[in-house]
Amino acid sequence: MKNHVIHWMLSLCVFNAAAQQLEALTKFQESKLISCEPAEPFFCGNVHVSCAGKTQIPTFPFTLQVSSKEGRLMPVSDQEFFSVLYSNSQMQWGTDAPYVVINPMGASGYIKIFQGGNYVLRYYPTPQASGLMSLGKCD
């Protein structure tokens, strides 16, 4: 009996976690504001496995909201440059999995938000520069 109760409690926790994972992407899809927090204080040269090439360029929290068919980035910090960069962005919703990719108009880079609310922000300081990356969580 005790094992059944533990199994039921674990199942309930997994169900609740899955419901929370959909929340950020669903909120964004419904044109609601989502808040995103970086996991690291500075951008990295690459974060596919771990932070490689840590920079001195600080990451920042930001908020996102869909405006019609566009994503709009509203930094919580003083990073006005990113707000302008993403003010007329384009969005592509995933067809193979639940995610959205937000691309700035006229610039390289992207913000990709996954089903669980995790995000990747890829930024190119200049057209010739290597990309910088930041990982974090949106809710």
Give the domains, in start order, of the chain with CATH numbers. 24-138 (2.40.160)
Question: What parts of the chain have a pLDDT lower than 50?
Answer: 1-21
The pLDDT value recorded for residue 122 is 93
**What confidence score (pLDDT) does residue 73 get?**
61
Give the integer Cα–Cα distance in Å for 46 and 22. Answer: 26
H, E, C per residue of 73-85: EEECCCCHHHHHH
Distances (CA, A) of 18 to 127, 135, 136: 39, 20, 18
Instruction: Give the per-residue pLDDT at 1.
Output: 47
- Write down the pLDDT at residue 134: 93
**Rounded CA separation 134/39 (Å):** 8
